[in-house]
Amino acid sequence: MSRTDRDFYLRDEPERAWMIENTWCAECCLPDLGIDDPREFELEGRVYLEGQCRICRRTLTSEVVDQRESTPAA
Ligand SMILES: [Zn+2]
């Protein structure tokens, strides 16, 4: 299962901003703290966004649910 890097910066600026802000940090136990250094990648057919919590600097990984491709995985 290899991880494939994707270019987060191909997304529209508003979408990027939304994705960066809409996070959940398990360390801080708080939503919407935001992440720095966002990196997007694909793993086993799913897309994830990884970045560092702006407060505790923990690396967070969250699955990106793309409304345009809302078909469930077979
Ligand atoms: Zn945090």
> What was the pLDDT predicted at 65?
84
Query: CA Rg, the chain, in Å?
Result: 12
> What was the pLDDT predicted at 67?
61
Burial of 23 (0-12, 13-18, 19+ CB in 10 A): buried
Query: How far apart are the CA of 19 and the centre of ligand 1, in A?
Result: 16
C-alpha to C-alpha distance for 1 and 4, rounded to whole angstroms: 9
Query: How far apart are the CA of 73 and the centre of ligand 1, in A?
Result: 30
Following CA atoms 54, 58, 15, 67 in sequence, which dihedral angle do they give, to the nearest 10 degrees?
A: -150
For 20-73, how does the pLDDT look when each residue is reduced to its tens digit (9 = 90+)?
999 999 999 999 999 999 999 999 999 999 999 999 999 999 999 876 655 555
Q: Name residues with Cβ closer than 5 Å to ligand 1, which is an ion.
A: 25, 27-28, 53, 55-56
Task: Give the phi and the psi of residue 42 in degrees, each rounded to 5.
Answer: -120, 135
